[in-house]
């Protein structure tokens, strides 16, 4: 029952006790109003409170709220456990570019994927998308192209398309640890932390020394304020870290010392 309907029900009750039949009649008329008028009323209330929030907290607060709600909506639309994913990801409103030329389309799926990676690294995500789609047109079971397509769509905030791409890649290659890790990052970004943890652990199950997932699972547990678990995975990551960034290692060690004192 909505807040408005609760108020109307209370108005009915109050009017019957004090004899003000006009209030009761008015409440009945409002309660039987058309769905369009109710929707309009809710829109007015929503707009009023949004403006009030902007005035009180500032525009940055409202922007952060809108982003949070958009992420929640996206997370609800890509719940794991659904049916087999469609092999054709939903690209959404990807910016239209001039079609790839015959020279650009030369080579096989592997070559096209490499060109897509080059465009991705240059942050030309729309063109990267075109190359990955061209690669999949030539080789529909190319799990690497699907994974890279997912990364590209995620960068464009096309979360459903990214999800479908990752799931398509995993349907082709079930032991694809990098894709499980990327799917975990997607869920983490959308605030679905439990789903993120599940996918990071799947990647670790496939490769017990997979560094990226140890680090990512630690970050997610820290967001969940499960500091003990976060500390365990940060330390596990440090045991497996094979990089040469001494400053990063020292920073992470200090971080684990701080986290170990949190409850």
Q: What is the pLDDT of residue 99?
A: 72
Count structural domains, the chain.
3
Domain final residue, candidates 36, 58, 76 = 76
Angle between helices 177-189 and 143-155 (to 10 degrees): 20
Q: What is the mean pLDDT of residues 31-59?
A: 61
Higher pLDDT, 123 or 84: 123
Q: What is the mean pLDDT of residues 26-45?
A: 51
| Domain assignment of residue 233, given as a range | 176-263
Say if 23 falls within a structural domain.
no
Higher pLDDT, 100 or 172: 172
Residue 149 CA, distance from chain mean position:
15
Say if 28 falls within a structural domain.
no
Query: Contact 169/176 with Cβ under 8 angstroms?
Result: yes
Q: What is the pLDDT of residue 3?
A: 41
Higher pLDDT, 53 or 90: 53
Query: At CA 227, angle to CA 196 and CA 237, rounded to 5?
Result: 65
At 141 the three-state DSSP class reads coil
Say if 223 falls within a structural domain.
yes
Q: Residue 64 corresponds to which tokens in the numbers above?
A: 């952060």
CATH number of 224's domain: 1.25.40.10
How many Cα atoms within 13 Å fall on the side-chain side of residue 209?
Answer: 4
Same domain (yes/no): 166, 217:
no
- The terminus-to-terminus CA distance of the chain in angstroms comes to 39
Helix, strand, coil share of the chain (percent; to 5): 70, 0, 30
Say if 214 falls within a structural domain.
yes
Domain final residue, candidates 141, 174, 207 = 174
Say if 38 falls within a structural domain.
no
Whole-prediction pTM: 0.65
Q: What is the mean pLDDT of residues 118-134?
A: 92
Same domain (yes/no): 167, 194:
no
Q: pLDDT tens digit string along 84-111?
A: 334 344 445 566 666 767 767 777 888 8
Whether 196 shows a pLDDT value over 90: the answer reads yes
């Amino acid at each position: 029952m909505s807040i408005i309907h609760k108020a109307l029900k209370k108005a009915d009750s109050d009017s019957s006790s004090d004899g003000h039949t006009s209030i009761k009649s008015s409440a009945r008329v409002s309660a039987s109003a058309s769905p369009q008028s109710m929707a309009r009323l809710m829109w007015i209330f929503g707009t009023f409170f949004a403006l009030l929030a902007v005035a009180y907290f500032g525009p940055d607060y409202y922007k952060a709220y809108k982003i949070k709600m958009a992420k929640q909506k996206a997370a609800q639309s890509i719940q794991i456990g659904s049916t087999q994913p469609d092999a054709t990801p939903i690209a959404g409103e990807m910016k239209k570019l001039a079609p790839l030329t015959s020279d650009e389309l030369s080579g096989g799926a592997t070559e096209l994927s490499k060109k897509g990676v080059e465009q991705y690294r240059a942050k030309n995500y729309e063109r990267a998308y075109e190359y990955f789609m061209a690669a999949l047109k030539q080789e529909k079971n190319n799990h690497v192209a699907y994974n890279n397509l997912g990364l590209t769509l995620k960068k464009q905030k096309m979360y459903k398309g990214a999800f479908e791409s990752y799931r398509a890649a995993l349907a082709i290659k079930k032991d694809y640890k990098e894709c499980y890790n990327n799917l975990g990052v997607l869920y983490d970004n959308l605030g679905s932390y439990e789903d993120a943890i599940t996918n990071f652990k799947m990647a670790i199950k496939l490769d017990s020394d997979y560094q990226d997932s140890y680090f990512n699972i630690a970050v997610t547990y820290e967001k969940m304020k499960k500091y003990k678990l976060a500390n365990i995975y940060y330390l596990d990551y440090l045991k497996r870290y094979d990089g040469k960034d001494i400053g990063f290692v020292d920073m992470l060690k200090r971080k684990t010392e701080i986290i170990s004192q949190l409850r």
